[in-house]
């Protein structure tokens, strides 16, 4: 029986790549109907970016072209429902490298 959590580390993204971030919103274990969402990004230098997201049914998507700031980034979602309730997801880290062959 495997009872240990194993991870390979943060996801690695390459400068210039276009990514499609996705969110399936759940609140208390149930799908949460949203009226809007924004992807929030913070670079290794502390610069904050916001990416407009599209809400389609119960799925949220936000396209982003990876900018030329290598290092460890943080991402989170800001989600809002039709009644005006706003919640934020827990932040996740990811790494940006200049090319897939960059050692890390």
Q: What is the pLDDT of residues 7-63, one digit of tens each?
A: 667 888 889 999 999 998 888 888 889 999 999 999 999 999 999 999 998 889 999
Question: What does the DSSP 8-state code read for residue 70?
Answer: -
Please give the residue that has the higher pLDDT: either 78 or 104. 78
Q: Does residue 102 have a pLDDT over 70?
A: no
How many whole angstroms separate alpha carbon 74 and alpha carbon 11?
11
pLDDT at 49: 95
Q: Does residue 4 have a pLDDT over 60?
A: no
Nearest to 26 by CA among 60, 61, 75: 60
- Mean pLDDT, residues 70-78 taken together: 95
The dihedral through the CA atoms of 53, 56, 60, 66 has a sign that is negative
CB 87 within 8 A of CB 27: yes
Please give the residue that has the higher pLDDT: either 54 or 101. 54
Q: Kind of pairing, strands 92-97 and 71-80?
A: antiparallel
pTM: 0.82
Domains of the chain and CATH, by start: 11-95 (2.60.40.10)
């Amino acid at each position: 029986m495997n009872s240990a959590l194993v991870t390979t580390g943060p996801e690695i993204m390459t400068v210039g790549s276009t990514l499609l971030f996705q969110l399936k919103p759940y609140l208390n274990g149930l799908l949460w109907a949203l009226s809007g969402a924004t992807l929030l990004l913070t670079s290794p230098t502390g610069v904050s970016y916001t990416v407009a997201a599209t809400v389609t049914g119960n799925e949220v998507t936000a396209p982003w072209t990876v900018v030329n700031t290598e290092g460890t980034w943080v991402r989170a979602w800001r989600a809002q429902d039709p009644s005006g309730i706003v919640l934020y997801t827990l932040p996740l880290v990811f790494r940006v490298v200049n090319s897939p062959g960059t050692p890390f």
